[in-house]
Structure 1
Protein backbone atom coordinates (compact mmCIF):
# COMPACT_ATOMS: atom_id res chain seq x y z
CA UNK A 1 0.00 0.00 0.00
CA UNK A 2 1.30 3.43 -0.90
CA UNK A 3 2.20 5.73 1.97
CA UNK A 4 0.47 9.08 2.42
CA UNK A 5 1.87 11.81 0.25
CA UNK A 6 1.77 15.59 0.55
CA UNK A 7 2.27 18.23 -2.12
CA UNK A 8 4.44 21.26 -1.43
CA UNK A 9 5.07 24.32 -3.58
CA UNK A 10 8.02 26.71 -3.44
CA UNK A 11 6.41 30.15 -3.21
CA UNK A 12 9.37 32.27 -2.05
CA UNK A 13 12.96 32.23 -3.17
CA UNK A 14 15.67 30.79 -0.91
CA UNK A 15 18.09 33.47 -2.15
CA UNK A 16 19.37 35.49 0.80
CA UNK A 17 18.23 32.86 3.30
CA UNK A 18 20.51 30.91 5.65
CA UNK A 19 22.47 28.05 4.11
CA UNK A 20 20.50 25.49 6.16
CA UNK A 21 17.26 26.66 4.58
CA UNK A 22 18.75 26.43 1.08
CA UNK A 23 19.90 22.86 1.76
CA UNK A 24 16.45 21.86 3.04
CA UNK A 25 14.80 23.30 -0.09
CA UNK A 26 17.26 21.39 -2.26
CA UNK A 27 16.83 18.14 -0.33
CA UNK A 28 13.05 18.30 -0.82
CA UNK A 29 13.61 18.51 -4.57
CA UNK A 30 12.30 22.04 -5.01
CA UNK A 31 14.35 23.62 -7.76
CA UNK A 32 12.19 26.32 -9.32
CA UNK A 33 9.56 28.73 -8.09
CA UNK A 34 5.90 27.67 -8.18
CA UNK A 35 6.74 24.03 -8.92
CA UNK A 36 4.74 21.44 -7.00
CA UNK A 37 6.53 18.39 -5.62
CA UNK A 38 4.90 15.33 -4.08
CA UNK A 39 6.80 14.03 -1.06
CA UNK A 40 6.10 11.36 1.59
CA UNK A 41 4.04 12.60 4.52
CA UNK A 42 6.09 11.49 7.53
CA UNK A 43 7.66 13.08 10.59
CA UNK A 44 11.00 13.76 8.90
CA UNK A 45 9.55 15.64 5.92
CA UNK A 46 7.02 17.44 8.13
CA UNK A 47 9.92 18.72 10.23
CA UNK A 48 11.76 19.95 7.15
CA UNK A 49 8.65 21.69 5.82
CA UNK A 50 8.08 23.35 9.20
CA UNK A 51 11.64 24.76 9.18
CA UNK A 52 11.04 26.45 5.80
CA UNK A 53 7.32 27.17 6.19
CA UNK A 54 7.92 30.80 5.21
CA UNK A 55 9.23 29.63 1.79
CA UNK A 56 6.77 26.86 0.90
CA UNK A 57 3.04 26.24 0.81
CA UNK A 58 1.33 22.90 1.32
CA UNK A 59 -1.01 22.23 -1.60
CA UNK A 60 -4.09 20.18 -0.75
Structure 2
Protein backbone atom coordinates (compact mmCIF):
# COMPACT_ATOMS: atom_id res chain seq x y z
CA UNK A 1 0.00 0.00 0.00
CA UNK A 2 1.42 3.36 -1.02
CA UNK A 3 1.72 5.91 1.75
CA UNK A 4 -0.35 9.01 1.22
CA UNK A 5 1.51 12.31 0.78
CA UNK A 6 0.34 15.84 1.47
CA UNK A 7 1.67 19.02 -0.17
CA UNK A 8 1.91 22.16 1.98
CA UNK A 9 2.68 25.76 0.96
CA UNK A 10 3.72 28.54 3.34
CA UNK A 11 1.46 31.56 2.79
CA UNK A 12 2.31 33.67 5.85
CA UNK A 13 5.44 35.23 7.26
CA UNK A 14 6.91 34.04 10.57
CA UNK A 15 7.92 37.61 11.43
CA UNK A 16 6.35 38.75 14.73
CA UNK A 17 5.08 35.24 15.48
CA UNK A 18 5.74 33.32 18.71
CA UNK A 19 8.79 31.07 18.84
CA UNK A 20 6.69 27.91 18.97
CA UNK A 21 4.97 28.83 15.68
CA UNK A 22 8.33 29.51 14.02
CA UNK A 23 9.66 26.20 15.33
CA UNK A 24 6.61 24.39 13.95
CA UNK A 25 7.24 25.91 10.50
CA UNK A 26 10.84 24.70 10.62
CA UNK A 27 9.61 21.29 11.75
CA UNK A 28 7.43 21.15 8.63
CA UNK A 29 10.45 22.04 6.49
CA UNK A 30 9.29 25.58 5.71
CA UNK A 31 10.98 28.88 6.51
CA UNK A 32 10.44 31.26 3.58
CA UNK A 33 7.31 32.54 1.88
CA UNK A 34 5.72 30.46 -0.91
CA UNK A 35 7.91 27.41 -0.31
CA UNK A 36 6.28 24.03 -0.79
CA UNK A 37 7.05 20.69 0.82
CA UNK A 38 5.61 17.23 0.35
CA UNK A 39 5.28 15.19 3.55
CA UNK A 40 3.66 11.95 4.63
CA UNK A 41 0.06 12.41 5.72
CA UNK A 42 0.39 11.46 9.40
CA UNK A 43 -1.52 12.62 12.49
CA UNK A 44 1.60 14.47 13.65
CA UNK A 45 1.86 16.49 10.43
CA UNK A 46 -1.90 17.19 10.46
CA UNK A 47 -1.57 18.49 14.03
CA UNK A 48 1.24 20.83 13.02
CA UNK A 49 -0.90 22.14 10.14
CA UNK A 50 -3.84 22.71 12.50
CA UNK A 51 -1.54 24.76 14.74
CA UNK A 52 -0.68 27.13 11.84
CA UNK A 53 -3.85 27.60 9.73
CA UNK A 54 -2.94 31.27 9.17
CA UNK A 55 0.58 30.48 7.91
CA UNK A 56 0.21 27.35 5.75
CA UNK A 57 -2.12 26.04 3.07
CA UNK A 58 -2.73 22.42 2.07
CA UNK A 59 -2.45 22.11 -1.71
CA UNK A 60 -3.10 18.38 -2.14
CA UNK A 61 -4.51 15.77 0.15
Shorter-normalised TM-score: what interval? over 0.9
Give the alignment's Cα RMSD to 1 decimal: 0.9
Scaled by the length of structure 2, what TM-score is found?
0.91
1:1-54: CA deviation from partner (whole Å, max 9, x where unpaired): 431110000000011011100000001100221111001101110000000111
Q: Indicate yes or no: 2:7 matched with 1:13.
A: no
Mark the runs of 5 or more structure 1 residues left unpaired by the alignment: none
Output the CA distance in 1 between the equivalents of 2:36 and 2:2: 19
Tell me how many residue pairs correspond in the alignment: 60
Scaled by the length of structure 1, what TM-score is found?
0.92
